[in-house]
Amino acid sequence: MNLAEHWLSIVGIGEDGYDGLNGQAKQAIARAQVLYGGARHLALLPTAASQATRIPWPSPMAPAVQQILTEHRGEKKVTVLASGDPMLHGVGVSLTRDLVPTEFRVLPQVSALSLTCARLGWSIAETILITLVNRPIEQLVRHLYPGQRLVIFSEDGSTPATVAQFLRNSGYGLSRIHLFENLGGPSERSASELAASWPAEQYARLNLIAVLCNPDTTAKPLSLAPGLRDDAFDTDGQLTKREVRAVTLASLAPLPNQTLWDVGAGSGSIGIEWMRHHSSCSCIAFEAREDRVLRIRANAARLGVPTLRVIHGTVPATFAGLRPPDTIFIGGGVANDDLFDACWAVLPPGGRLVANAVTLQSEACLAARHALHGGDLTRMMVSRADLIGESHVWRPMMPITQWTVTRP
């Protein structure tokens, strides 16, 4: 079979089933030799719709996806059924990632996101989509702001009650929750209530949640701008202070889809704020002390970036086998030549390295490396107002020397 002729069709199907499909989607189903889909999707097709071998998705799905991309690629006509728009948190993303466009055709149905916004009169462009399918609920924290509109894909029938409880605990009990079961189908059902009074009951497994965020007096919205208050983090004192952290994040210059290595992460503040910058930013935090590893994980979950990865162990030994980062931050240990050399070696061309120094010895090391590799040296001196008796004085913090360099 010529790969120039697409061998893979990915068909979005809604709760209105086979009758809701257009002619192209029905043709893709009819011509298939192998038909994959969830048991629920396959059951929506009449027997006469296709003579293909029907294969329900196994759990986990990964082996079947791999089979499609290896055994069937270019050898058989394969059609895959997916919910709504297959490219919106759907299997279409996994299937097409390593294919060329001539190999596949995606035939989307109206997505659950579109249907929800249509039901509520919400602008899709102003609505945040979050999936809790195999994802931690703490990611919601990053999106809790007054007036924010959220559409949430549920894990199962218990998710609505879990989300309501999470909103209450986060100071957003006054938020309005809209629940939709079997959206777009003949058995569609909806409910609406404040999170504060949402019942603890099970709903249909296929459900979707929409939230209009409204804080109560206990809520403490956190800005996405760098430089969260120091008391936002649980710390044993090993913390990059707010003013220095804001400058450091500006020097790190995070971009979407980039990965940071936070070497000697302490309380995890740099990596956490890096990930809060954009939902696609990722971070690996390296920390030698076990108590700090636990603290970093707790801070990351509480501040809305629970997927931050923490590696416990001594650097640079723990670098082995990892994909190179886009950016590296060294908050301690810059006087360690082996550590610096390992960081510099793993950094790809165009990658950025930012290092902060406090002691005279580490400052001298940064000056020497600046002379060797170039970049920018900055010295920060911050004072905070403090009380002595009934008067305020300036209380200076320790000066910080920062080196920023891009590897040629």
Same domain, yes or no: 152 and 296: no
Element at 116 (helix H, strand E): helix 112-120
In a domain, 303, yes or no: yes
> Which residue range(s) make up the domain with 91?
8-110
Count how many domains the chain has. 3
Q: What is the pLDDT of residues 103-128, one digit of tens each?
A: 999 999 999 999 999 999 999 999 99
Listed residue (354, 356, 350, 346) closest to 329, CA to CA:
354
CB environment 374-390: b (16+ within 10 A), e (fewer): ebebeebebeeeeeeee
Q: Which helix (H) or strand (E) holds 264?
A: none
Q: Do 25 and 96 share a domain, yes or no? A: yes
- In this structure, which amino acid lies at residue 94? S
pLDDT single digits (tens) 208-247: 999 999 999 999 899 999 999 999 999 999 999 999 999 9
Structure token digits, residue 201: 């009951």
- Domain check: are 25 and 150 in the same one? no
Q: What is the DSSP letter of 126?
A: G
- Which spans in 97-191 are helix H? 112-120, 159-169
pLDDT given for residue 254 in this prediction: 97
Phi-psi region of 100 (alpha: psi -120 to 50; beta: other; left: phi over 0): beta
Q: How far is C-alpha 129 from the chain's CA centre?
A: 11
What pLDDT sits at residue 331?
Answer: 87
Secondary structure of residue 113 in the 3-state scheme: helix
266-312 pLDDT, tens per residue? 999 999 999 999 999 999 999 999 999 999 999 999 999 999 999 99
User: CB–CB of 169/124 below 8 Å?
Assistant: no
Residues 99 and 135 placed together within one structural domain of the fold = no
Read off the DSSP letter of residue 186. T
Report pLDDT for 332. Answer: 77
CATH number of the domain enclosing 74: 3.40.1010.10
Domain termination site, one of 43, 75, 110: 110
In a domain, 257, yes or no: yes
* Mode of pairing for the β-strands spanning 34-37 and 78-83: parallel
Across residues 60-74, what is the average pLDDT? 93
Of residues 137, 140, 141, 117, the one with CA closest to residue 127: 117
Residue 298, phi then psi, degrees to nearest 5: -65, -40
Distance of CA 248 to the CA centre of its chain: 22
Q: Over 60: is that where the pLDDT of 4 sits?
A: no
CB 203 within 8 A of CB 254: no
For 119, list phi and psi in degrees, rounded to 5: -65, -35
pLDDT in tens, 320-364: 999 999 999 998 778 788 999 999 999 999 999 999 999 999 999
